């Protein structure tokens, strides 16, 4: 475990230099910041608020790298299971970096800061009569994470409407992090994959700051109807009944059917490990029934994946990211 006092001192030094406002806490429980509501403490959690975020992050990232301090970027906490032992080092929470902007010089150009909840972004676009983000309505998480994983549902994905992404990118020339706009190239995106998931030789991937979308003008009432239908569908599928992360495994065309159907056909609905359970109504949703640990969720996912592999030969790929200090891992 990193010394919390030392981490806080580093963060407060950078904060004083960058006009920081926001929250800094030691031993912050990550269960309070994930949709599964599990996870142990972060050694030090920091959430810059408002316009100080880019400058603070640009100073924190190289300082942490130089000091050899692990740094984890937290978005909306969806598709994330943090270990019961917590996360070592610093957690940089993006949820204070929010807001949207409609360009005056280009119809349909809609820019969203990365910490903005995807549902809020979809609603804000709708109020401007801009369609194209309605498929995100009711989805948990933040825009930064949605771009990072090329979020997909209802036969639409983020890269369908993404024009470019603003990132903090590491420069090997002087070790600094600079704001750069990267155009969206469709060939670099695929099913729930984006170029931002790749790390360079130094082990860095860009920190997403904002996303610029190209949206089409539509009637506000039509967009609202579409969004309401998607929210209703998610509710009927039980996405909000218990703490969860939605689908836990990716689909694959090679399987010939949805992953949830495969798990259903193996009779695994309701299968339980500790407080974690395969949802009784959907095979590809795992829920926290109230007292699940992160270890319960991970073990349940592993057992389901193994039963599918043994029976069908299919190897399931998790959508969920496992972060933090897990027993038996480096």
Strand 87-93 and strand 162-170: pairing? unpaired
- Active-site entry in 114, 235, 319, 327: 319
Alpha helix segments (H runs only) across the chain: 4-18, 53-67, 118-127, 143-148, 220-236, 259-265, 294-312
Of the residues 95, 194, 244, 247, only one is catalytic, namely 247
End-to-end CA distance of the chain: 13
Closest CA to 168 of 265, 309, 281, 55: 55
Q: Is 319 a catalytic residue?
A: yes
User: Residue 209: how many CA atoms within 13 Å on its side-chain side?
Assistant: 20
Tell me whether residue 186 is one of the annotated catalytic residues.
no
* DSSP for 162-178, written as a single string: EEEEEEEEE-TTTS-EE
- φ and ψ at 176, to 5 degrees? -90, 165
The catalytic residues are 247, 319
């Amino acid at each position: 475990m990193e010394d919390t006092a030392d981490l806080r001192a580093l963060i407060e030094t950078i904060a004083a230099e960058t006009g920081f406002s926001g929250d800094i806490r030691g031993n912050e429980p990550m269960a309070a910041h994930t949709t599964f509501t599990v996870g142990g403490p972060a050694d030090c959690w920091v959430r810059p608020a408002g316009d100080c975020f880019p400058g603070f992050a640009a100073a924190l990232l190289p300082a942490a790298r130089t000091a050899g301090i692990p740094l984890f970027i937290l978005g909306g906490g969806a598709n994330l299971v943090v270990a019961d032992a917590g996360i070592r080092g610093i957690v940089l929470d993006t949820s204070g970096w929010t807001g949207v902007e409609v360009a005056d010089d280009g119809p349909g150009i809609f820019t969203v800061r990365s910490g903005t909840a995807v549902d809020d972004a979809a609603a804000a676009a709708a109020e401007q009569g801009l369609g194209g983000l309605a498929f995100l309505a009711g989805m948990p998480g933040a825009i930064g994470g949605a771009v990072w994983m090329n979020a997909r549902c209802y036969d639409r994905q983020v890269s369908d409407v993404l024009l470019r992404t603003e990132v903090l990118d590491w420069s090997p020339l002087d070790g600094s992090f600079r704001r750069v706009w990267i155009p969206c190239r469709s060939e670099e995106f695929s099913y729930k994959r984006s170029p931002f998931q790749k790390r360079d030789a130094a082990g860095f991937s860009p920190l997403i700051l904002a996303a610029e979308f190209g949206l089409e003008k539509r009637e506000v009432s039509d967009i609202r109807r579409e969004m309401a239908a998607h929210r209703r569908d998610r509710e009927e599928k039980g996405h909000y009944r218990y703490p969860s992360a939605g689908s836990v495994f990716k689909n694959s065309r090679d399987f010939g059917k949805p992953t949830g159907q495969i798990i259903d056909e193996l009779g695994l609905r309701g299968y339980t490990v500790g407080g974690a359970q395969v949802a009784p109504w959907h095979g590809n949703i795992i829920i926290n029934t109230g007292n699940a640990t992160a270890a319960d969720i991970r073990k349940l996912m592993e057992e389901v994946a193994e039963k599918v592999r043994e029976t069908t030969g299919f190897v399931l790929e998790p959508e969920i990211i496992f972060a933090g200090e897990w027993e038996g891992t480096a």
